[in-house]
Structure 1
């Protein structure tokens, strides 16, 4: 046990430093003054140098060789530490620090260029991020698929071939459902003015209803909503459009799904390798089930309709059913984060194909905007009108998150499995949701999945929670039931 104890003591400091680095990133995207960006980039690079040195410390290899796991928790900790150690050994310290520095700068440059609709200002920094990530991928892949190598940061054990197969299986049914929905009557649209302060107050109320603990978190504004942190400090962000309250409210529910996972991991795992979510696919299963299968359900929409009228007065729709249809309107919009459940995965398929081609060297950054616009017109039937509605809309590529996008669809798939299992065990769930109370389902997620953190690999995590292997069938069956009913 001596080697294991030494290893865990060393790792606890590394985990704490990683949390500091993450909180520095949160600060950059929320409250950092814009003039601080160059200094912040150097700070992020310095932190990454320290972290990389700890993650490749030769003592780790010795401890890992000597350590023995007395139980499943220790075995999982060793699995995660070994995976991290072997991966980090492949990446030169110089490259790790340069990636941290460049992506820190790139986030601010993306935000400014996006606001100015200036694709020419964004392309050079994106090209530098892609160059560095290609170099990193080559080190990690060791002759294998470079995109698969990057995916391991977000979905350990995942592969682009498996993702492509998942998309091929899902696409025909999604397209058929979309076409049927678009051929039906247009959904109602909210109207009125929805002040920022009232939106944020309602967002806080809803976040608490979905189990977010403000004693260990906070809600702030960001250009692109995100969740940050784990354990005792888990923060969420949203954004506000005073003509569209759904953007704020449903972004908040989505990020609460991520945050609840991190807040509910067993306190016994705090600052250990398994003390956080096991993968982004499993993470997205929480945010997508919270946002869509609970938050956009007809019972919850009935409750939300009443609360929104309490807060905002008349909102342009005259019944709970009309409000439910407005929340779940099917439209070929530009923005992924605002997409309905039928279009959402088509947005992900587009990004998956383009970013895989970028990392493999089959597509260059100078060709990306044209490739995006052509694919979007083919998939969605409308031309892209400006860069912020096209290849510049998401923050992910500017900060180097190549391999992340497919985990959103994997999360939808996992969410379908989890909610099917939860509903089978919670016959009164809809009655609770109609009272604005998702706690039966969020509690089920906490007990079956969240509390265990990264104790099990991703697919085993889903199998343990549901009793069955992950499959696309529950998600597609759910979508067919829902949108067939909405079209009636």
Structure 2
């Protein structure tokens, strides 16, 4: 037992150093999005490549195989750590070092090319690098899949133990009800959107207040601006970004709450797990469940929006919304729109279904990169009933494909589904939450999530994590029931 413990301790010490280096690489990515000078992209690509080589060498170190062969789990934590290390190590051994470095360098360059193409509405300028990215990810998928489904191999990087077929079945179960409810809502009278201009510095002030209200630890984090809001880091360094628009303060405020949900998950993990495989969220779908329940089921609830209405009146003065009930309607307004990140709860998953089907077709070879824009525009018109007006509102709107995150998009919908389960369980356990939300107090809700889910990090597998916390089988049904009840009430259907 002593020898075995020594082997495990050696492996974990090595793993902690690797995790620290990955944290440094993550800071490079954060800096690229927030602080990096515009002319530094080429050097940053080289830095990403160098870090990728160092991390790759550590993750494929032959000593890991030896440690894994000799170490035996002595408790559930050790068992989970070994499970994660073994899975990651086996994956890394399948991907050649040359390919890993090329992916890191290419996607770093591609991100800058995408940003410029998006700004200039230049699809043609983006397609060559996108073809390279897709080719590299296809090569990676071929190495990982060992003859299996290519898309599933990449999806597993973000959501272990699921598949494209399972996701497709989930979407098939969700689509009819969502489409029918959307049609009924859009046929009803809708509140007018916000009008006027909202000071961007004041938006940031309120976004900081919201972050604190949702339990974000600013001593171990910070809020900056970025083109695409995101969270970054783990443990004692978890940073978030948001964005502002004078005409749309909700973009800033709810982007902040969303990213705080991600950050709170990382900050809520038991500190004994920091810099270990259990020290980060177990999957992107589970991660997204936290950002979604913070943003939507809590942040867009009638009770919480009543408090938010008062704070906005305090900070912005009269902005044309007469009372808290009207404000609740405006916050949850269902309306036409091109942008996924700005989509309402009701329509959001339809945006994901589009992306899921297109990227799955790219990986199967049924869709070529040259035909992607036309396929996007055709599908969007079919699903939403109006035409894409410019590339930045179409296939250029998301950063994901530029950095090769194939298989990432469906985890957003998994997060919505998981959040539906968690919300149902939380409301059952804490029936008086609305009285707290009406005061801007989310501590009982966020505390419940920390106790039942966040503290465990990667201890359990994704579905097990949700089912342990919610006390029910993971299913899309609670989400669909929540959406149906909410929007039928809002629109008096």
Q: Does 1:21 align with 2:25?
A: yes
Equivalent position of 1:178 in the other structure: 182
TM-score normalised by the chain length of structure 1: 0.99
- d(CA) in 2 for partners of 1:360 and 1:230? 34
Structure 1 residue 193, shift from structure 2 partner: 1.2
Equivalent position of 1:376 in the other structure: 380
2:206 to 202, 205, 217: 202
- d(CA) in 2 for partners of 1:238 and 1:296? 18
2:433 to 412, 420, 429: 429
Q: Does 1:257 align with 2:247?
A: no
Structure 1 residue 158, shift from structure 2 partner: 1.2
Q: Does 1:144 align with 2:145?
A: no
Equivalent position of 1:39 in the other structure: 43
Structure 1 residue 2, shift from structure 2 partner: 1.7
Secondary structure of 2:263's partner?
Answer: helix
TM-score normalised by the chain length of structure 2: 0.98
Structure 1 residue 188, shift from structure 2 partner: 2.5
2:416 to 396, 412, 421: 412
Cα distance per residue 1:193-245 (max 9 Å; x no partner): 11110000000000100010100000001111000000000000011111100
1:92 to 96, 108, 132: 96
Is contact 1:189–1:317 with CA below 8 Å preserved after alignment? no
Matches within 5 A, 1:93-172: 93-172=97-176
Secondary structure of 1:234's partner?
Answer: strand
Equivalent position of 2:402 in the other structure: 398
Structure 1 residue 306, shift from structure 2 partner: 0.9
Secondary structure of 1:185's partner?
Answer: coil
Q: For structure 1, which segment, 183-192 or 157-166, has the greater mean C-alpha deviation from structure 2 after superposition? A: 183-192
Q: Does 1:83 align with 2:83?
A: no
Equivalent position of 1:306 in the other structure: 310
Is contact 1:103–1:129 with CA below 8 Å preserved after alignment? yes
Structure 1 residue 332, shift from structure 2 partner: 2.2
- d(CA) in 2 for partners of 1:439 and 1:380? 38
Equivalent position of 1:353 in the other structure: 357
Structure 1 residue 453, shift from structure 2 partner: 0.2
Q: Does 1:191 align with 2:195?
A: yes
2:442 to 438, 442, 451: 438
Is contact 1:147–1:360 with CA below 8 Å preserved after alignment? yes
Structure 1 residue 415, shift from structure 2 partner: 0.1
- d(CA) in 2 for partners of 1:233 and 1:318? 41
Secondary structure of 2:239's partner?
Answer: strand
1:461 to 458, 461, 465: 465
Structure 1 residue 468, shift from structure 2 partner: 1.3
Q: Does 1:237 align with 2:231?
A: no
Corresponding residue pairs, total: 488
- d(CA) in 2 for partners of 1:245 and 1:447? 32
- d(CA) in 2 for partners of 1:187 and 1:136? 48
Is contact 2:214–2:260 with CA below 8 Å preserved after alignment? yes
- d(CA) in 2 for partners of 1:398 and 1:322? 40
Structure 1 residue 270, shift from structure 2 partner: 0.7
Matches within 5 A, 1:193-342: 193-342=197-346
What residue ranges of structure 2 are gaps of 5+ in the alignment?
Answer: none
Cα distance per residue 1:174-207 (max 9 Å; x no partner): 1111111111102221112111100000000001
Secondary structure of 1:274's partner?
Answer: helix
Is contact 2:190–2:491 with CA below 8 Å preserved after alignment? no
Is contact 2:281–2:458 with CA below 8 Å preserved after alignment? yes
Structure 1 residue 437, shift from structure 2 partner: 1.1
2:16 to 12, 17, 24: 12
Secondary structure of 2:276's partner?
Answer: coil
Cα distance per residue 1:366-403 (max 9 Å; x no partner): 10000000000000111000000000001111111100
- d(CA) in 2 for partners of 1:435 and 1:481? 24
- d(CA) in 2 for partners of 1:321 and 1:110? 41
Secondary structure of 2:387's partner?
Answer: coil
CA RMSD in angstroms comes to: 0.7
- d(CA) in 2 for partners of 1:132 and 1:462? 33
Q: For structure 1, which segment, 213-222 or 120-129, has the greater mean C-alpha deviation from structure 2 after superposition? A: 120-129
What residue ranges of structure 1 are gaps of 5+ in the alignment?
Answer: none
Secondary structure of 2:240's partner?
Answer: strand
